[in-house]
Amino acid sequence: MKELPRGAVLQRDKTTYAIIPRLKGGLIDVEVLRKIANVAEKYKIPVLKITGAQRIALVGIKAGDVEPIWQELGMEPAPAVGRVVRSVKVCPGTAACKLAQQDALGLGLKLDEKFLGMELPAKFKIGVSGCPNNCAESWIKDFGVFGRNNGYTVVVGGNIGNNPRLAKNLAEGLNEDEVFALAEKIINIYKEKANQKERFGSFIDRVGLEEFKKMVSL
């Protein structure tokens, strides 16, 4: 099989590619915006698309332009495909939102740094919201977190797709360190015990939520 250019996703026309640079927490600054605008202009990239994972996809790139564009951007590809931790979607939390009850951005960036790209039995998405409004869609993430006055609530096993599934409540009143430790434990259990291609929600259904809670010592 022909090797794809680095970090490139073949498009519907079977001749051009999309690339998606990594943007932690959906944060972007003027310098990066300028670089993206510059390569889009120089390489005549026809489509720039904001993705559901809070990134910017550059779409419609010729194969030979992919590597020079990465070099000019000086950025790493985001893990957009494959059986890995794909995305950490984060709301602004207490950094900006007046409704926030917890520092979602701070926690989300730490989770992104630690887990993004980690290989797992199936794709795995994380959402971190600063309050129960759940702007980062924590209830439809494999590992979802949202802030309340008493700390963070953790919900697990949500996903969208052909068989949408809301996450189930796992723990409440956690501080940031406790959420981080729980995420680490859960991801390791999933990695070790799930079948290949088994989404996290299906794994929880198979073992049972109460049994799963025992596995993570809750």
Q: Does 33 bind ligand SF4 (CB under 6 A)?
A: no
Helix axes 176-193, 200-207, angle to 10 degrees: 80
Instruction: Note whether 143 and 107 are within 8 A (CB).
Output: no
Q: At residue 203, what are phi and psi to the nearest 5 degrees?
A: -60, -45
**CB-count exposure of residue 74 (10 Å: 0-12, 13-18, 19+):** exposed
Answer yes or no: are the C-beta atoms of 73 and 43 closer than 8 Å: no
Q: Does 133 bind ligand SF4 (CB under 6 A)?
A: yes
Among 131, 186, 187, 204, binds ligand SF4 (CB under 6 A): 131
Question: Which sign, positive or negative, has the C-alpha torsion 57, 59, 63, 64?
Answer: negative
Residue written as tokens 């797709």?
A: 161
Q: Which of 7, 25, 60, 92 binds ligand SF4 (CB under 6 A)?
A: 92
Number of residues that bind ligand SF4 (CB under 6 A): 13
Q: What does the per-residue mask of binding to ligand SF4 show for 134-173, with x meaning CB under 6 A? A: xx--------------------------------------
Asked if 89 contacts 53 with a C-beta cutoff of 8 angstroms, the reply is yes
Considering only the stretches 34-42, 55-63, 106-114, 127-135, report the one whose residues sit in contact with ligand SF4 under the rule CB under 6 A.
127-135
Nearer to ligand SF4, 120 or 131 (CB): 131
CB of 71 to ligand SF4, least distance (A): 35
| Closer Cβ to ligand SF4, 97 or 118, answer by number | 97
Quick one: which of 25, 93, 121, 144 contacts ligand SF4 (CB under 6 A)? 93
Buried b (16+ CB within 10 A) or exposed e, 143-156: bbbbbeeebbbbbb
Under the rule (CB under 6 A), what is the footprint of ligand SF4? Answer: 91-93, 97, 99-100, 104, 129-131, 133-135
